[in-house]
Amino acid sequence: MATKNHKLQVAFQGERGAYSEEAVLTYFQPEKVAVNVKPCRTLYDTFEALEKHKVDYAVVPVENSLEGSINETYDLLLHSPLKVCGEIHLRIKHSLIARPEATLNTIKTVYSHPQALAQCRGYLRKLGVKPVAAYDTAGSVKNLRRRKSDTVAAIASRRAAEIYQMKILAEGIEDNPNNYTRFFTLCFKDAEPTGSDKTSIVFSAKHVPGALYKALKEFADRDINLTKIESRPTRQKLWEYNFYLDFEGHREDPKCKQALQALSQKQMLTKILGSYPKAKQQNNNNHN
């Protein structure tokens, strides 16, 4: 942990003002813990910063309540030595941001991350503008300085507008207010049991009838509540999949340990991504 002489170094994907940075601040609470943030260009760079010990933690998005999973994050987790040690549920509130001289009537093109554009699809359609995908929400705001045009805008957080001194034309432009993104906090060791935990794993089942059923039955027989299951191609054999599974409980809890041991006895390749405290639901009405 941070001390008076050492601030925690935390990596995230995007520019300052990105929602991932907001997730860092939500999780580590800088008013209580000294934190330095390290922006990274890509998710791969974010993982690499921690794997090479350039930072103490990394925070990465894993799924959005409207648009679904961040597949790249799951693919990186499969091959990384990093462990999930925490999770954050962050309310996402989008703003339309432009240069000071711009108005809603002058905007013709809007830049942002593909997920942000998708979450504001209806609003952009009504506005009659062209959406253009960019690598980051906050980065799109930063680039408004370079573009020097009153015809372009970006979708990002209010905080991004404040950091880059741009103008907010509209707030809360997401099509559905029930818009949350789930983030994982990563380090080299998962968390100790707290009594209110979750565990994330990935496993591969044999390509035979009933294999997935038999795997899930190990959890059902022990009354372990599954909170998510998703398949991803193995990329090794055609039409074979890895299954990402979240369940309630810590991997050290007796019944969870029994279920995981049963999976391995069925010769199912299983990787524990980590056990961690359940996220506290963010009921804030922040501007981010």
Would you please indicate which residues are annotated as catalytic (active-site) residues?
Answer: 181, 183
- DSSP track, 103-118: -TTT--EEEE-HHHHH
Query: Which stretches of 105-157 are DSSP H helices?
Result: 114-119, 121-127, 137-147
Q: What angle do CA 60, 179, 129 make, to 5 degrees?
A: 100
Q: What angle do CA 12, 59, 88 make, to 5 degrees?
A: 135
Burial 79-89 (b: 16+ CB within 10 A, else e): ebebbbbbbbb
In DSSP terms, 199 is beta-bridged to 247, 275
Q: Pull the structure tokens for residue 13.
A: 């994907």
Residues in contact with 48: Cβ distance below 8 Å, sequence separation at least 6, in sequence order: none
> What distance in Å separates the CA atoms of residue 184 and residue 77, rounded to the nearest whole number?
10
- Residue 156: name the closest of 46, 87, 167 by CA: 167
- Residue 10: name the closest of 210, 284, 199, 21 by CA: 21
